[in-house]
Structure 1
Amino acid sequence: MTFTSSTDQHGPSLSANLCGKTAIVTGSSRGIGAGIAAELGRRGATVIVTYTGEGSRQLAPEVSGTIEEWRSGGKGITLQADITSAVDRQKLVDVAVDSGPTKKIDIVVHNASNGDDCYLKDITDQFFERQVDVNMKAPLFLTQAAVPHMPRGGRIVLITSAAARMGVAETSVNSATKAALESFSSVWATELGQTHGITVNCVSPGPIATEQFHNSSPEFKEALQPLIKSTPAEARMGEVNDIVPLVSFICSEESRWVTGSVISGTGGMLLV
């Protein structure tokens, strides 16, 4: 797996502005999560790189290895954790606290997601509960567990999706959970702002060329083609490196006056 720093495509090297910070990035063995973890590490953070299943066991250490290769002072720590499990969520928090230079958790990026597609007529209780557990319940309770360990200036980022507003077939549950995360963001920004000094924001990608997208149903991918071809920024799908800089900005000190926001990473797709 190869990771490209945002600076490789967008000009001079940025300062290591996250040195001394500790970050949790869920679902960070592949796709957008891997890109985010690698970039936060490149900027100097200690990053807990999480994965769930055996299929990602080989991938997560590659992300951690990339962080070490940047030689920016960042560190990658690989951890297997099922974020739908209360025990594993606490383990994740404990490892982050123990591993960081300040024994605090400065950044939590909720990236892990179940994006399975299903027509309304085929949705089962099991399908519904699986998506809600991963996409809504886990971020809520992981945030609850992490906040007591977060200092003022902490950052919480939720990776949502333009699917919350697109009305694409087969996304009844997934789009609803993404909309819920955007609601979490505005509520938590109020609850955690003045009292805790923590900002909470969403980054909302459009279709991104990841393994998860390529594994979607042919009908789902076909339905998106007209939107992709008419994307204002360029007639293409988004890439991981289009989203990563948005997240790293939200994690930085420069974003201190941004909270409760949903930052669009769609190339203007929903403007057409």
Structure 2
Amino acid sequence: MPDFKGLDLTGKTAIVTGASRGIGAAIAIQLGQRGANVVVNYTNDKSERKATEVVNKIEAAGSRATLCQASVANVNDIPKIVDAALRLSQTGKIDILIHNAALGVDANLEDVTQELFQTHFDTNVKGPIFLTKAVIRHISRGGRVVFVSSAAARLGVAGQTVYGATKAANESCARVWAKELGQSHGITVNCVNPGPVATDQWQESDEQFRQDMQPLIESTPAAARIAEVDDIAPLVAFLCSEDARWTTGSVLCANGGLYN
């Protein structure tokens, strides 16, 4: 008989930031389908309905889920996320932390403002650093931390001066934390790096930007298309599993081969 127990997440407690839509929603649902209990984080009232739909899908799969409205960019909100996970946990521990929440406003260098810089680094870099710091004391050995990075961290995409820099910072954190938290805490830290993905954020991006991206999309080795969220979520779930125990400090290609 086939044995896939190494991929089972039953009883694990997971936090997924920015989980009301897009990649974050797909990851939260995927973890729930594999048995994890999930904190579905969202930032504002207009996202609550979609976040509730994610919770309902997780519960329909037989797992437990809870909503948590909080902004990772605000360090004062971080205890809300941690407390929600501890209330949900059946063991008093947090097992999985997915850093998905991110801002990604495109701006050429000449259009970069201090506000754009600050908001992106607060959400994409400061938030994950201080959320991880708050969660570490509650993660048991065998815990998993996964960043949703981006091919923009390495590919060099026009208009992504700030966004690309934040994602490169995420990948750097993963490499550093893999060393700091490995033998001492038994935690693995990894990234996945999607390219263009068919999400609301993609649809809301500048039309010129999408046109400029078309040659890149057509050159994607795996297929001449952008990704779907279900191309990404299973890779994140794998990195959360026991089968991924020997993978840490890595960036898993999730962009069809645009950049490894």
TM interval, short-chain normalised: over 0.9
Query: Alignment partner of 1:19: what SS?
Result: coil
Tell me, yes or no, if the aligned pair for 1:168 and 1:223 is still in contact at 8 Å: no
Partner of 1:167: 156
Question: 1:91 offset after TM fit, Å?
Answer: 1.2
Match of 1:98 among 66, 87, 96: 87
Match of 1:222 among 211, 214, 229: 211
Query: Alignment partner of 1:107: what SS?
Result: strand
Partner of 1:57: 48
Match of 1:111 among 82, 96, 100: 100
Listed one character per residue, the Cα deviations across residues 184-203 of structure 1 (whole Å, up to 9, x for unaligned) are 00000000000000000000
Percent identical? 53
Listed one character per residue, the Cα deviations across residues 97-152 of structure 1 (whole Å, up to 9, x for unaligned) are 12110011100000000001111111111110000000000000000000000000
Question: TM-score, structure 1 length as denominator?
Answer: 0.92
Further displaced range: 53-62 or 173-182: 53-62
Q: State how far apart, in whole Å, the 1-side matches of 2:228 and 2:46 are.
A: 22
Listed one character per residue, the Cα deviations across residues 237-262 of structure 1 (whole Å, up to 9, x for unaligned) are 11101001100100000000000000
Tell me, yes or no, if the aligned pair for 2:181 and 2:188 is still in contact at 8 Å: yes
Partner of 1:38: 29
Partner of 2:16: 25
Q: State how far apart, in whole Å, the 2-side matches of 1:116 and 1:269 are.
A: 21
Q: State how far apart, in whole Å, the 2-side matches of 1:17 and 1:270 are.
A: 29
The answer to whether structure 1 residue 188 and structure 2 residue 147 are counterparts is: no
Partner of 1:202: 191
Further displaced range: 48-57 or 12-21: 12-21
Where structure 2 has 5 or more consecutive residues not aligned to the other structure, the ranges are none
Given the superposition, is the C-alpha separation of residues 112 and 13 from structure 1 closer, same or farther in structure 2, using an over 3 Å criterion? farther
Question: TM-score, structure 2 length as denominator?
Answer: 0.96
Moved over 3 A (4+): 12-16
Partner of 1:263: 252
Listed one character per residue, the Cα deviations across residues 5-45 of structure 1 (whole Å, up to 9, x for unaligned) are xxxxxxx9966711111000000000000000001011111
Counterpart code for 1:158? F
- The two structures, once aligned, show a CA RMSD in angstroms of 1.4
Q: State how far apart, in whole Å, the 1-side matches of 2:39 and 2:19 are.
A: 9
Query: Alignment partner of 1:20: what SS?
Result: coil
